Structure 1
Amino acid sequence: MPQVYLNTAYCRIELDEDIKAVIIEWFGAPKSESFRSACLLVTKALKENGYSRVLTDNTNAVIFKREDQQWLNEVWLPEAEAAGYRASATIIKKDPFVRFAVDNIVKDRDNVKFLNQRFESREEARSWLKTLVL
């Protein structure tokens, strides 16, 4: 049974011990405060468990505010990297706006020290993360 860090109307955060990853699944578009506190909880889970992988499931997400996307790259990402974050598998629906937003978030990341791949199913994302040697 997975260890659940958060389970609310806007997101669920849990550990996947099999792939040594933190999973965050978004539902709708949370308020900025809720979005940011959930992201910081992911950082805490990475650090506490010595994990370097995050699986983000945006299947049921709505585009996050531009300010939150900027905060994610400028504030959260350096903190997450300091906690060990090195790989991200992102599940996104076919919505072109969500795809654009996800691409915008990851476009400036260093592809040498950070691996990122997007998928259409959780099984594909888990399989890819499981193969990584970090």
Structure 2
Amino acid sequence: MLQFDKPFATIEIEPEKSLLILTWHGFANSEEFREARTAAVQIARQYGLTKWLSNMKDMKAIRQADQDWSVNEWLPLFQTLHIKKWGLIISDDMFNQMAMSSMMSKIRPKLTHPVEYFQDLNAARNWLERD
């Protein structure tokens, strides 16, 4: 069920699996990046979703200011959700990989649920759908 559809990102939910899928398309500027991440939190809360999939396969670099925003502003909102599993599909873009590595090194210690990294959508979905 498509919830958010913009050129830079889409958010789909599968309520029967308690799953939110945030898929990035190329580069997102600061406004777009923050809009999509904020919308995803609101949608996850609205539907009481417990599994989150960040598909960054086609995502490009993330600005430093947006990395800082993610850690300082977005993470506290994300932590109020009842997420049990978070899967991340790694970007093909080296600059995105470096940004995510830096950001997740700050985010991961603050999380209580498992976070796993994947190369493809099927592997991520399989892990998320197992209890």
Q: Give TM-score scaled by structure 2 length.
A: 0.89
Q: 2:63 aligns to what? A: 65
- CA contact under 8 A between 1:119 and 1:125: conserved in structure 2? yes
Cα RMSD (Å): 1.7
Runs of 4+ with deviation above 4 angstroms: none
TM-score by length of 1: 0.87
Q: Which runs of 5+ in 1 are unaligned?
A: none
Q: What secondary structure does 1:107 align onto?
A: helix
User: Given that residues 47 and 83 in structure 1 are in contact (C-alpha distance below 8 angstroms), is that contact kept between their aligned partners in structure 2?
Assistant: yes
**1:88 aligns to what?**
86
Q: Secondary structure at the match of 1:110?
A: helix
Give the count of matched residue pairs.
130
Comparing 43-52 and 89-98, the one that deviates more? 89-98
Output one character per residue of 1:16-62: Cα deviation in whole Å (capped at 9) or x when no partner: 23532110111111121111111111111111111122101111110
Partner Cα separation in structure 2 for residue 111 and residue 38 of structure 1? 22
Instruction: Tell whether the 8 Å contact from 1:55 to 1:89 is kept in structure 2 after alignment.
Output: yes
Structure 2: where are the runs of 5+ without partners?
none
Whose helix proportion is higher, 1 or 2? 2
Shift, 1:63, TM fit: 1.1
Give the letter aligned to residue 39 of structure 2: L
| Aligned counterpart, 1:122 | 121
Question: Matched residue of 1:15: which SS?
Answer: strand
**Percent of residue pairs bearing the same amino acid type:** 22
